[in-house]
Amino acid sequence: MEAGSSSLCQSRYSYEEYKETADWLLANTKQRPKIAIICGSGLGDLAELLDNKTVFPYKDIPRFPTSTVQGHAGQLVFGTLQGHECVCMKGRFHFYEGYNIHTVTYPVRVFFLLGVETLIVTNAAGGLNGCYNVGDIMLIKDQINLPGFAGQNPLCGSNDDRFGVRFPCMSDAYDRELRALVKQTAEEQGCDSFLREGVYCMLAGPTYETIAECKLLQTLGADAVGMSTVPEVVVARHCGLRVLGMSLITNKVVTDYDSTERANHEEVLKATEDRKQDLQRLVSHLITKI
């Protein structure tokens, strides 16, 4: 299979192919995780919180894609966090790497077949909301799937009822109870001063947004913008997983034509380095409540 095919229905995977990957992982680890965490750019150190770790490089896992982006280590880590068995992706997959929508979301269905019930997604995002500051953590309450508007939805094609229904509901994509737990945990851990709640919008990338595009996204009601997460959430909800999403605001988008500010990936990684310990503490204590 060519991972980089641009056709909507090419490189689709069968139930048996997902199961082959899941069965290989189950045979090579004793961990049976109920929680999966997908780490965004620069946030892979969340996996270092796990105890009793078993680490699989993506390249060693049958049919698993590989990550090519700086800040994405490319490892699947099994272990325990606060006594709960988890699996953590140190690095995700993106459209802009040349992967199609089915490859980008491949791990999520594997997680479902492993027995995962809750998916936590994190990402680095640009702040569209004028009230946001670099270093804020935005709790995702909803999403705008712009690639989906253009037909790039991971559920296009024939439906396999073993994963989920033909027409899944997305109005409750981000679990309300989990969001309430995050707010409670943030207050307990002293993180509530930089915790926000808002709407995440996905663009395909790899270019950062133009000023006109940023103004359009603000008009649509987006509070943060990034290049990931949404396809994984769509597949997770199709599989019936509970989803919690958090965006680390790593830069404020440029909306002034006279501005000399320029978005860059080094800025993103620097911002995650400055805030990652707070995010780790938040996730670690949250796990005890799930």
Query: Is pLDDT larger for residue 287 or for residue 256?
Result: 287
41 is catalytic: yes
227 is catalytic: yes
102 is catalytic: no
11 is catalytic: no
User: CB–CB of 122/71 below 8 Å?
Assistant: no
Name the average pLDDT for the chain.
Answer: 88
193 is catalytic: no
Catalytic residue among 67, 72, 125, 232: 72
CB atoms within 10 A of CB 161: 8
**pLDDT-based confidence at residue 2 (cuts at 50, 70, 90):** very low
37: Cβ contacts below 8 Å, ≥ 6 apart? 46, 47, 86, 87, 88, 89, 119, 120, 121, 122, 283
72 is catalytic: yes
Query: pLDDT of 12-29, one tens digit each?
Result: 899 999 999 999 999 999
Query: pLDDT of 122-170, one tens digit each?
Result: 998 999 999 999 889 999 999 999 999 999 999 999 999 999 999 999 9
Looking up tokens 């060693």 gives 60
User: CB–CB of 223/196 below 8 Å?
Assistant: yes
Query: pLDDT of 46-96, one tens digit each?
Result: 788 889 999 999 999 999 987 766 555 689 999 998 889 999 999 888 988
Indicate the pTM of the whole model: 0.90
Residue type at 109?
Answer: R
Residue type at 141?
Answer: K
Could you give the maximum distance between any two Cα atoms of the chain, in Å? 58
pLDDT at residue 273 in the model: 73
Query: pLDDT of 196-249, one tens digit each?
Result: 999 999 999 899 899 999 999 999 999 999 999 999 999 999 999 999 999 999
16 is catalytic: no
Query: pLDDT of 179-193, one tens digit each?
Result: 999 999 999 988 889
**CA 101 to CA 105: how far, in whole Å?**
6
Domains within the chain, CATH numbers bracketed: 15-287 (3.40.50.1580)
Taking residues 252-279, report their average pLDDT: 74
CB atoms within 10 A of CB 252: 18
Catalytic residue among 36, 124, 138, 173: 124
Query: Is pLDDT larger for residue 131 or for residue 10?
Result: 131
pLDDT at residue 200 in the model: 98
85 is catalytic: no
pLDDT at residue 271 in the model: 66
